[in-house]
């Protein structure tokens, strides 16, 4: 994958020959347009909230595991 500065990524996906005997290789391009849009701040907030939620769930599961091992 090639990182094209802050504007995005370009990749060439190489796939093996399928049952039809055809290579189905492809180019993949991802533009980082959201970084310069008004939605960027909202996206960052949603991402931070999701990470916080996962970490909270992880801690809850860890506590539950500790309690059940004491039984």
Domain range summary for the chain, segments of one domain joined by +: 1-36, 37-71
C-alpha angle 40-44-50 in degrees, rounded to nearest 5: 145
SS3 content of the chain, % helix, strand, coil (to 5): 50, 25, 25
Asked if pLDDT for residue 71 goes beyond 60, the answer is no
Query: Average of pLDDT values for 14-25?
Result: 86
As given in the structure block, the two tokens for residue 42 are 């909202």
> The pTM is what?
0.35
Q: Which two three-digit tokens encode residue 56?
A: 């909270």
pLDDT for the residue 1: 57
Mind listing the pLDDT tens digit for each residue in 36-61?
666 677 778 888 888 888 887 877 87
pLDDT at 32: 67
């Amino acid at each position: 994958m090639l990182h094209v500065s802050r504007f995005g990524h370009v990749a060439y996906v190489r796939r093996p020959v399928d049952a039809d005997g055809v290579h189905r290789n492809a180019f993949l391009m991802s533009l980082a347009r959201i970084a310069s849009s008004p939605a960027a701040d909202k996206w960052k907030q949603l991402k931070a909230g999701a990470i916080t939620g996962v970490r909270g769930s992880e801690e809850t599961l860890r506590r539950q595991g500790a309690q059940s091992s004491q039984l």
